Amino acid sequence: MSGLPLDLLLSPWALALLGLCIGSFLNVVIHRLPLMLERQWWGDVAHQLGDTDSWHRVFGSKAKPPAAQHQAAAALAQSIEALPPLGIARPRSRCPACGHAIRWHENLPVLGWLRLKGRCSACGSRIPARYPVIEGATALLFAAIGWRFGAQPAALLWCAVAAVLVALAAIDWDTTVLPDALTLPLLWAGLVAAALGWTLPPPDALQTALGGAAAGYLSLWSVYWLFKLTTGKEGMGYGDFKLLAALGAWLGWQAIVPILLMSSVLGAVVGIGMKMRSSLREGRYVPFGPFLAGAGLVVMLAGTRTVLGWIGWA
C-alpha cells in the first residue's frame, strides 16, 4: 500500500492532467519570454547609444558622439521606462484585441478554449487554436513519459525536459530565437542529473553526458563554420548548438547522430513543403530548433538503443 500514492501521482493519467496545467503555463512563456528579451535588447541599445567611452574605444576619437545619438538614447530609454511591467507571472492575461482580463474559468486548459468556441468572450476576436494544441500536446507528452518511465521520480525530470523542449520549439518557430534562459539551464540540469545518477546508466553517466554535450555543440558549430566559410552566409544560430548540447547532456553522446538525422530529414521535408506552398518566411529559411526538439523527444520516448536500431547501428 505504501507504493500506491506514488503509483497514482505519477501514473500516465495524473501526469496528463499535470501536463495540461503546465501546457497552459507554457503558452504564457512562449508569448511573453520573447517580448521580455526584446525589451532587454532595446534597453541594451539605449545604453550602448549613450556610452561615450565605448564610442571612443570603437571609433578611436576623443570627439563627442553625434548629438542625435544622445537624443536617440535618451528618447529610447524614456520610452522603455514608460512601458508597463512585463513578466511571466504579471500582468494578468488579457485579450490582445480588446484588453479583456481573462477570467479563471476562461483560462482552463483546453476546456476554456472549447467553451468559448475559440473566441474572446468580450469582443469575439479569434483565439488561436495553438493554445489548446500546446496544452494537449504537453499532456500527451507527459502521459507518454509516465508510460515510458513508470511511476518513479525520474519521470518528473523527463516531464520538465519535455516542457522546456515544447517551449523552445514554439519560440524558435515564432521568432527564430532559442533563449539562453531556457537552453542553458536545460544543459546544466542535464549534466547535474547525470552526475547524480538520475538519467543515464552508471558507471559512466557523467562522462556520457559530458560527451553528449560536447558532441552536440561541436557538431553543429562545425557545420555552421563550414557553411559560413563556404558560402559566406550563416546557416543557423548559436542557440541550435546549445540546444543540441543540452539534448546530448540528457540523452548521451550516442543520441547525437540519430537526433541530427531525424531533425535534418524532417526539417528538409517541411522546408520543401513550405517552399512549394510559398509559405517560407522572409529570408526563405525554416528554424532548426523545433526539429531538434522533436527528434530529442522521439529519442527520449523510444530510447536511444531503439532509435539506433532503426538506423541499423544497434
6, pLDDT greater than 90: no
Ramachandran angles phi, psi of 119, nearest 5°: -135, 150
pLDDT at 284 over 70: no
On average, the pLDDT of the chain sits at 91
Distance CA(5)–CA(217), nearest Å, equals 40
What pLDDT is attached to residue 100?
84
d(C-alpha 176, C-alpha 243), whole Å: 13
Of 250, 233, 265, nearest to 303 (Cα)? 250
| Cell digits of residue 206 | 557523467
User: What is the Cβ-side half-sphere exposure of residue 14, based on CA atoms within 13 angstroms?
Assistant: 13
CB atoms within 10 A of CB 54: 13
What are the cell numbers at 66?
A: 553625434
Average pLDDT over residues 8-19: 94
Residue 314's pLDDT band (cuts 50, 70, 90) = low
Residue count of the chain, please give it: 314
The span from the CA of 113 to the CA of 135, in Å, is: 11
**Helical H runs in the chain?**
4-9, 12-49, 52-59, 67-82, 111-115, 130-149, 154-175, 180-195, 205-231, 238-251, 256-276, 289-302, 304-310
Range among 20-34, 49-63, 223-237 rated most confident: 20-34
State how far the Cα of 45 lies from the Cα of 41, in Å rounded to an integer.
Answer: 6
Q: Is the alpha carbon torsion for 13, 18, 22, 24 positive or negative?
A: positive
Region 171-189: mean pLDDT is 97
Query: For the chain, what are the domain ranges?
Result: 153-310
Confidence band, pLDDT 50/70/90 cuts, at residue 1:
very low
pLDDT digits (tens, 9 = 90+) for 145-174: 999 999 899 999 999 999 999 999 999 999
pLDDT of residue 234: 83
- The stretch 275-295 carries a mean pLDDT of 84
Tell me the pTM.
0.93
Q: Quick check: helix, strand or coil at residue 61?
A: coil
Per-residue pLDDT tens digits for 194-210:
999 999 998 899 999 99
Percentage, residues of the chain above pLDDT 90: 69
State how far the Cα of 131 lies from the Cα of 106, in Å rounded to an integer.
12
